[in-house]
Structure 1
Amino acid sequence: MGGCSVLGRIWGVWRRRPGVRAVPKAPGFGTEAGHRLRPRGSSKRSRPLGGQPFPGLLQLENLSREELVDVLRAAVVDQKGKPGELTLFSVLPELSQSLGLGDQELQVVQASGKETSGLVLLSSCPQTASRLQKFFIHSRRAQRPTATYCAVTDGIPATSEGKIQAALKLEHVDGVDLVIPVKSPSRKDFQEGVKRTLSHFRVVAMGSGCALVQLQPLTVFPSQLQVHMVLQLCPVLGDHTYSARVGTVLGQRFLLPAESTKPQRQVLDEALLRRLCLTPSQAAQLPLHLHLHCLHLPGMRPGEAPMKLLAPLPSYFSRTLQCLGLHQQ
Structure 2
Amino acid sequence: MAMQYCFSGPLVTLNKPQGLPVTGKPGELTLLSVLPELSQSLGLRQQELQVVRAPGKESSGLVLLSSCPQTASRLQKFFIHSRRAHRPTATYWAVTNGVPAASEGQIRAALTLKHIGGVHVVVPVKSPSRRDILEGVKRTLSHFRVMATGSGCALIQLQPLTAFSSQLQVHMMLQLCPVLGDHTYSARVGMVLGQRFLLPAESIKPQRQALDDALLRCLCLTATQAAQLPLHLHLHRLLLPGSRPTVAPVELQAPLPQYFSRTLQRLGLCQE
Secondary structure at 2:96 match in 1:
strand
User: Which residue number corresponds to residue 255 of structure 2?
Assistant: 312
User: Which residue number corresponds to residue 105 of structure 2?
Assistant: 162
Secondary structure at 2:107 match in 1:
strand
- In the alignment, the residues of structure 2 paired with residue 246 and residue 135 of structure 1 have an alpha-carbon distance, to the nearest angstrom, of 36
User: Which residue number corresponds to residue 178 of structure 1?
Assistant: 121
Kept in 1, the 8 Å contact 2:117–2:205? The answer is no
Secondary structure at 1:295 match in 2:
strand
Q: Which amino acid aligns with 2:89?
A: T
Please give the per-residue CA displacement for 1:248-300, whole angstroms capped at 9, x wherever unaligned: 01111000001121000000000000000001110001000011110010114
1:204 pairs, out of 141, 144, 147, with 147
- Residue 328 of structure 1 and its aligned partner are, at CA, apart by 2.2
Gaps of 5+ in 1: 12-58, 61-83
Q: Which amino acid aligns with 2:122?
A: V
Please give the per-residue CA displacement for 1:222-243, whole angstroms capped at 9, x wherever unaligned: 0000000000000000000000
- Residue 312 of structure 1 and its aligned partner are, at CA, apart by 1.7
Kept in 1, the 8 Å contact 2:173–2:186? The answer is yes
Identity of aligned residues (%): 78
Secondary structure at 2:43 match in 1:
coil
Q: TM-score, normalised by structure 1?
A: 0.76
User: Which residue number corresponds to residue 298 of structure 1?
Assistant: 241
User: Which residue number corresponds to residue 70 of structure 2?
Assistant: 127
1:258 aligns with 2:265: no
1:3 aligns with 2:10: yes
CA 1:206 to 1:156, structure 2 compared with 1: closer, same or farther past 3 Å?
Answer: same
- In the alignment, the residues of structure 1 paired with residue 248 and residue 186 of structure 2 have an alpha-carbon distance, to the nearest angstrom, of 41
- In the alignment, the residues of structure 2 paired with residue 324 and residue 305 of structure 1 have an alpha-carbon distance, to the nearest angstrom, of 36
- Residue 301 of structure 1 and its aligned partner are, at CA, apart by 5.1
User: Which residue number corresponds to residue 249 of structure 1?
Assistant: 192
- Residue 94 of structure 1 and its aligned partner are, at CA, apart by 1.9
Which of structures 1 and 2 has the larger relative contact order (alpha carbons within 8 angstroms, sep 6+)?
Answer: 1
Kept in 1, the 8 Å contact 2:61–2:254? The answer is yes
User: Which residue number corresponds to residue 223 of structure 2?
Assistant: 280
User: Which residue number corresponds to residue 232 of structure 1?
Assistant: 175
Q: Which amino acid aligns with 1:234?
A: C
User: Which residue number corresponds to residue 3 of structure 2?
Assistant: none
- Residue 302 of structure 1 and its aligned partner are, at CA, apart by 5.6
User: Which residue number corresponds to residue 326 of structure 1?
Assistant: 269
User: Which residue number corresponds to residue 35 of structure 2?
Assistant: 92
Kept in 2, the 8 Å contact 1:2–1:125? The answer is no
- In the alignment, the residues of structure 2 paired with residue 224 and residue 302 of structure 1 have an alpha-carbon distance, to the nearest angstrom, of 30
1:146 pairs, out of 78, 89, 96, with 89
- In the alignment, the residues of structure 2 paired with residue 174 and residue 283 of structure 1 have an alpha-carbon distance, to the nearest angstrom, of 23
Kept in 2, the 8 Å contact 1:2–1:128? The answer is no
1:270 pairs, out of 213, 219, 229, with 213
Secondary structure at 1:212 match in 2:
strand
- Residue 174 of structure 1 and its aligned partner are, at CA, apart by 3.8
Secondary structure at 2:74 match in 1:
helix
Q: Which amino acid aligns with 1:242?
A: Y
- In the alignment, the residues of structure 1 paired with residue 181 and residue 270 of structure 2 have an alpha-carbon distance, to the nearest angstrom, of 19
Secondary structure at 1:93 match in 2:
helix
Q: How does 1:21-100 map to 2 (within 5 A)?
A: 84-100=27-43
User: Which residue number corresponds to residue 61 of structure 2?
Assistant: 118
- In the alignment, the residues of structure 2 paired with residue 96 and residue 179 of structure 1 have an alpha-carbon distance, to the nearest angstrom, of 35
Please give the per-residue CA displacement for 1:161-206, whole angstroms capped at 9, x wherever unaligned: 0000000001233442210100111111111100000000000111
Q: TM-score, normalised by structure 2?
A: 0.92
- In the alignment, the residues of structure 2 paired with residue 119 and residue 136 of structure 1 have an alpha-carbon distance, to the nearest angstrom, of 15
